[in-house]
């Protein structure tokens, strides 16, 4: 397969006051922390959200790798539900020295464009800032960061910037072009 250029942008907030929350959507959307580490559920979220935008780095993970990743102290998954149906998620990855990465964030395709993404991102960033309140062994958060790339949804960068994230790095790298895997073969219309 040919290589394609992929631009990756890294963005950050350096203070809780940087967060510019989005309004909650009109729908019956709830955001709940997934407190029981479940590789099956987390893999479902990962493939359902990232299947059409080429999230492939975790597809080969074993059940044990998922379990170990989810059981790290301070690692959290927050799930948006629209009338009881999972609509999207945000995964927080605590790092050293009070840094928290929003490692994954996104919506299932059927829930995009319904004003859920800004609300979920706002909620997830706020939970990154108050992570030490739930995990006393973690230092207080000093910085929240994330990355997005040119393969992500067309509104991703604008959403991050509207929530108060500021660009701090840009890289362009050649990556192999991969077929969009979807959560299962044939899941997305051509």
Judge whether 27 and 82 are in contact, CB under 8 Å. yes
Judge whether 133 and 16 are in contact, CB under 8 Å. no
Domain locations in the chain as residue ranges: 3-176
pLDDT single digits (tens) 11-63: 999 999 999 999 988 778 999 999 999 999 999 999 999 888 878 889 889 99
For 41, residues 6+ apart whose C-beta sits below 8 A from its C-beta are 34
Torsion of CA 133, 115, 153, 66, to 10 degrees: 40
For 64, residues 6+ apart whose C-beta sits below 8 A from its C-beta are none
| 172 pLDDT higher than 50 | yes
Distances (CA, A) of 122 to 16, 21, 51: 11, 5, 23
| 182 pLDDT higher than 90 | no
Q: What span, in angstroms and rounded, lies between the C-alpha atoms of 34 and 41?
A: 9
Q: Using 50, 70 and 90 to split pLDDT, how confident is the model at 190?
A: very low
| 189 pLDDT higher than 80 | no
pLDDT single digits (tens) 84-102: 999 999 999 999 899 999 9
pTM metric for this prediction:
0.91
What topology is assigned to 3-176 in CATH? Aminopeptidase (3.40.630)
Q: Which helix (H) or strand (E) holds 48?
A: helix 39-50
């Amino acid at each position: 397969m040919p290589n394609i250029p992929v631009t990756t942008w890294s963005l950050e907030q350096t203070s809780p006051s940087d967060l510019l929350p989005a309004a909650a959507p009109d729908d019956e959307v709830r955001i709940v922390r997934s407190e029981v580490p479940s590789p099956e559920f987390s893999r479902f979220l990962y493939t359902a959200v990232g299947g059409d935008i080429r999230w492939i780095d975790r597809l080969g993970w074993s059940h044990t790798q998922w379990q170990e990743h989810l059981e790290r102290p301070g690692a959290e998954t927050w799930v948006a539900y629209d009338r009881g149906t999972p609509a999207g998620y945000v995964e927080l990855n605590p790092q050293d020295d009070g840094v928290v990465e929003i490692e994954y964030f996104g919506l299932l395709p059927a829930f995009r464009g319904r004003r859920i993404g800004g609300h979920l991102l706002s909620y997830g960033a706020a939970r990154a800032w108050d992570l030490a309140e739930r995990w006393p062994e973690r230092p207080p958060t000093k910085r929240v960061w994330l990355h997005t790339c040119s393969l992500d949804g067309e509104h991703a960068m604008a959403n991050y910037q509207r929530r108060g994230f500021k660009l701090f790095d840009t890289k362009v790298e050649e990556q192999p072009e991969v077929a969009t895997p979807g959560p299962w073969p044939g899941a997305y219309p051509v």
